[in-house]
A and B are shown apart, each in its own frame.
Chain A
Amino acid sequence: SQQGEEDPQALSIQEGENATMNCSYKTSINNLQWYRQNSGRGLVHLILIRSNEREKHSGRLRVTLDTSKKSSSLLITASRAADTASYFCATDAINGNQFYFGTGTSLTVIP
């Protein structure tokens, strides 16, 4: 299965701290994306990193990609209570039509 896996499954931090989530996947990819899901809502796209990129920034988000290890990390700096949500990585296989989602990391930011 192409499906990625995030770790940790759950993460609880104090407001202002940084949060790091990791994603591992199994086969070669075109892109890797990170999504956020608030409880009971749909997923919202955060950031996309292409297979030929190693790092990307967007506001308080920093994503890295290591294709040799088939892994990615999402760093949220200076976390806020409003960052509390589940975070998913998604990959699309080079020869596939699908986006595969990981199992998610549940982040709780304590005010």
Chain B
Amino acid sequence: NAGVMQNPRHLVRRRGQEARLRCSPMKGHSHVYWYRQLPEEGLKFMVYLQKENIIDESGMPKERFSAEFPKEGPSILRIQQVVRGDSAAYFCASSVRPGTGELFFGEGSRLTVL
């Protein structure tokens, strides 16, 4: 049973470009969470999605950031017109159902904005 798969593991973008981060949850998991981690800091919640629905996006910046979890395929975190402050590690986690058990994390996607 493969774990949570994230790609790319490393991504370099120039200011103004777009970054697309992908996450395939564990088999049988329909709940996906995205977190951002800055160096030497904890994880900041960004968004929680179920298949085809955004349940909670209270942690997402209002502009340039969007997320989706389509019926088929991985969840995608999209950052438009990236700025240097977007440089961080972005982690995806999945769970069987919310509020009752552990989160399974991917290895993260490390975005560097030049």
Given known pairs A42-B107, A45-B103, A98-B48, the reply for A103 and B98 (CB within 8 Å) is: no
- B100 touching A99, Cβ below 8 Å: no
Instruction: Kindly list chain A residues whose C-beta atoms are within 8 Å of the C-beta of B43.
Output: 43, 88, 101
- A97 touching B103, Cβ below 8 Å: no
* B contacts with A, residue count (CB < 8 A): 26
- A99 touching B107, Cβ below 8 Å: no
- B56 touching A98, Cβ below 8 Å: yes
- Secondary structure dominating the interface of A: strand
New contact pairs (10) apart from A30-B100, A44-B105, A98-B56, CB-CB < 8 Å: A35-B103, A35-B105, A42-B106, A43-B43, A43-B103, A97-B48, A97-B99, A98-B45, A98-B48, A98-B58
Footprint of A on B, CB under 8 Å?
A: 4, 33, 35, 41-45, 48, 55-56, 58-59, 91, 93, 98-108
